[in-house]
Amino acid sequence: MQFDKIKNKGQARLFENRYLEMLTKTHPLVIWGMYLPVIGYMLYRAYAVTGFSLPAMALIFTGALLFWTFFEYIMHRFVFHMVSENPRLQKIAYTLHGNHHEYPRDRQRLFMPPVPSLIISSILFGIMHLFLREAALVFFPGFLLGYLLYGSIHYAIHAWNPPFKFMKPLWRNHHLHHYKSEEKGFGVSSSLWDRVFGTFYQQ
C-alpha cells in the first residue's frame, strides 16, 4: 500500500477537483435508500409478473446471499489487494481500497459511493441476466442485500465495538487484517471463506 503508516484520524485526498472528491464519499443511509426500492421492485416483478413461486424465490435469494460472501472475499483478496509495479494500477488500487487501509476510520468511504456503485451494479446485473435470464430478478436482489449487509457490518466494525459476543471473531479478523497483516482476513460480512481458504486469523 502506498503510505507510510496507518492514520486513525483524517481522510485521504483522492482528487484535486473538489466535485470529484465529493463523489468519493457517502453515508450508509444513502446507499440503503438507493437500493432498497430496486430490491423491492425486482422481487415484486419476479413474483407478480414473471411468476416465480415463493419457495423458488427464497431458494434463489438465499443462494445469492451466499454467493455475495464468496464474491466479497474474491474481490477483496485479488482485486482490492492486487500487487503491481505499474503506477497507474497502483493509483487505482489506492483509490479503490488503499486509502481505506491508510485511513481505516474514515466513515465516509466505507461504502462504494453512489455513482460508481450504480455503474458497477448495472454491469453486474447485465451479466447476471445474461446467464440467469428471469431468475436474475431474484438473484440480483439477494446479491444486493448481501452487499448492503456487508457495507453495514464493515461500517460497524470500524465505528463500534461488537454488539454481541458471537460477533467478536468477525471484528477481530478484520481488525487484524488492518493492523497486523493484509495477507489474511479478507472476509468482512462472513469469515466462511477465510476459514475455507486458510486465511482466517486463528486464536
Is 2 a member of any domain? no
3-state secondary structure of 182: coil
What does the pLDDT read at residue 129? 97
Is 8 a member of any domain? no
All residues at 6 or more sequence positions from 85 whose CB lies less than 8 Å from its CB, including other chains: none
The number of beta carbons lying within 10 Å of the beta carbon of residue 179 is 11
Q: Which domain holds residue 136?
A: 18-197
Is 203 a member of any domain? no
Length, in residues, of the chain? 203
What does the pLDDT read at residue 139? 98
What does the pLDDT read at residue 76? 95
Is 105 a member of any domain? yes
173 pLDDT higher than 80: yes
3-state secondary structure of 66: helix
CA atoms within 13 A on the CB side of 94: 17
Is 187 a member of any domain? yes
Q: Predicted confidence band at 117 (pLDDT cuts at 50, 70, 90)?
A: very high
Amino acid at residue number 98: G
Q: Predicted confidence band at 58 (pLDDT cuts at 50, 70, 90)?
A: very high
| C-alpha span between 89 and 81 (Å, rounded) | 11
Q: Predicted confidence band at 96 (pLDDT cuts at 50, 70, 90)?
A: confident
Is 118 a member of any domain? yes
What does the pLDDT read at residue 4? 62
203 pLDDT higher than 70: no
What does the pLDDT read at residue 2? 53
Is 12 a member of any domain? no
Q: What pTM does this model have? A: 0.92
Give the number of domains in the chain.
1
83 pLDDT higher than 90: no
Is 202 a member of any domain? no
